[in-house]
């Protein structure tokens, strides 16, 4: 192969497969929409510990997906090779919050749609999805369950505490009870009345009540 044959290679012909304007426009839009996804994620996060790195990952994932799809749409042979290469990739990171999965798919979908040239669909769809998430994820729900961890030093104080709980909550159900040398500890599932938590203060002041703790319960743990 001569030196001139190298410059005639079909590999070099792919350099101009995607115009510079298309690349810049797609990547800038991917960065902007990725920032919007990051903003919505930050505003709607309701987990135990906020992870800023996951928000940055959403921005990067949007741009990376756009980059990959731009390359795939410019060459059919490359698209087949890309499918084969990505099929061997395995991600083992555990997703703790179910809503995080929606954000990951959102970032990937936006990257694909932007690279396909459907800019109005990507922008309008992102605004609509973001508005829905902001409305429903931040909606105050007073019917969600809470766990009350109660420690008492006798049956009398236990009955008084249960009576106060039933008066100040919509629903009060004993989940577990442990008794040891006159001390009893109860885990109770309660539903609040309008988000009022002042009853915990009155509960802790009852005679014979050693401690009273209110814990938000999301179905993953119980304290």
Convert the pLDDT of each residue in 104-114 to its tens digit.
Answer: 899 989 988 98
Which residue among 86, 111, 137 closes a domain?
137
Cα 54 from chain centroid?
A: 9
Residue 188 φ/ψ, nearest 5 degrees? -120, 135
Which residue among 137, 169, 202 closes a domain?
137
Q: How far apart are the first and last CA of the chain?
A: 72
d(CA 177, CA 151): 10
Whether 203 is in a domain gets the answer: yes
> How many domains does one find in the chain?
2
* Claim to verify: residue 68 and residue 19 sit in the same structural domain: yes
* Claim to verify: residue 175 and residue 83 sit in the same structural domain: no
* Claim to verify: residue 95 and residue 15 sit in the same structural domain: yes
Whether 222 is in a domain gets the answer: no
pTM of the model: 0.62
d(CA 105, CA 130): 13
Q: Which residue has better confidence, 112 or 94? A: 112
* Claim to verify: residue 188 and residue 107 sit in the same structural domain: no
The whole-chain average pLDDT of the chain stands at 78
Structural domain of residue 109, as residue ranges?
A: 3-137
Whether 223 is in a domain gets the answer: no
pLDDT average, residue stretch 23-39: 91
Q: What is the DSSP code (8-state) at residue 55?
A: H
Q: Which residues contact 66 (CB under 8 A, 6 or more apart)?
A: 26, 27, 29, 30, 111, 112, 114, 115
Look at the chain and count its residues. Answer: 223
Range in 16-30, 33-47, 54-68, 81-95 with the lowest mean pLDDT: 81-95
pLDDT of residue 76: 58
Strand partners, 152: 184, 209
* Claim to verify: residue 188 and residue 130 sit in the same structural domain: no
Whether 41 is in a domain gets the answer: yes
């Amino acid at each position: 192969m001569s030196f001139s044959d190298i410059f005639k290679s079909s590999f070099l012909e792919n350099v101009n497969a995607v115009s510079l304007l298309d690349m810049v426009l797609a990547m800038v839009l991917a960065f902007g929409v990725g920032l919007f996804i990051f903003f919505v994620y930050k505003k709607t996060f309701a987990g135990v510990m906020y992870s800023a790195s996951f928000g940055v990952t959403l921005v990067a994932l949007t741009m990376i997906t756009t980059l990959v799809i731009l390359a795939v749409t410019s060459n059919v042979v490359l698209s087949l090779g890309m499918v084969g290469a990505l099929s061997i990739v395995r991600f083992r990171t555990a997703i703790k919050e179910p809503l995080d999965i929606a954000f990951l798919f959102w970032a990937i979908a936006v990257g694909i749609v932007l690279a396909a040239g459907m800019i109005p669909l990507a922008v309008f769809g992102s605004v609509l999805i973001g508005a829905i998430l902001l409305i429903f994820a931040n909606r105050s729900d007073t019917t969600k369950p809470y766990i009350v961890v109660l420690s008492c030093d006798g049956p009398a104080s236990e009955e008084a505490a249960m009576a106060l709980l039933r008066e100040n909550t919509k629903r009060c159900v004993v989940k577990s009870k442990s008794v040891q040398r006159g001390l009893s500890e109860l885990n109770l599932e309660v539903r609040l009345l309008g988000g009022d938590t002042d009853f915990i203060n009155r509960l802790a002041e009852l005679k014979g009540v050693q401690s009273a703790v209110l814990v938000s319960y999301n179905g993953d743990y119980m304290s």
